Structure 1
Amino acid sequence: MLICSFFICSLPDFDFTPELQEKAVAEHKNAALLEPDFKLLERGEHIIDNMYEYFAENESASEILPFQKQKLNGRKVCNSIVNNISE
């Protein structure tokens, strides 16, 4: 969620309060339930992939994105750490 905050902060000024953010997420989820071909996880991955390009020059932000992608897919972050150590 932190990386999303960085992304939103880089956009032009907009009064995007926590309440509006919660509402937007809820509406997005509800819309996904109504559209049978909607691939919520695939779209989330697409957004994160776009964020890789956007934050290409920001090393701190780029390092967070793989963990965000793992959380999106329900994989434990510790699994990637163990895999990286064992390689």
Structure 2
Amino acid sequence: MREAMEIAIGSAVQGDGGFVGEVERVDLDPSGHFATHVAVRPRHEGGAARRVPAALLDTGAGGLTLHCTLEEFEKLPADGPVR
């Protein structure tokens, strides 16, 4: 069973090396009950948002934690238009 997770647009996302970016969008499964991916806008201006699998994220008092390095985050696919 999946654990409930609260994800707010604009929430800070921390990675293994510190601040990664902010939540731009949350994609849900067809039932609308579970997040499948989260679009994270990088900390530096002009970078494309990355499509992060929800399985790589945890929530806590300080916001979201991404379980990968900044280098791994930057290799995730760029977020595209909503389908």
Instruction: From the two aligned structures, give the one with the greater helix fraction.
Output: 1
Could you say which structure has the larger radius of gyration? 1
Taking structure 2 as the reference length, what is the TM-score of the superposition?
A: 0.20
Instruction: From the two aligned structures, give the one with the greater strand fraction.
Output: 2
Taking structure 1 as the reference length, what is the TM-score of the superposition?
A: 0.19
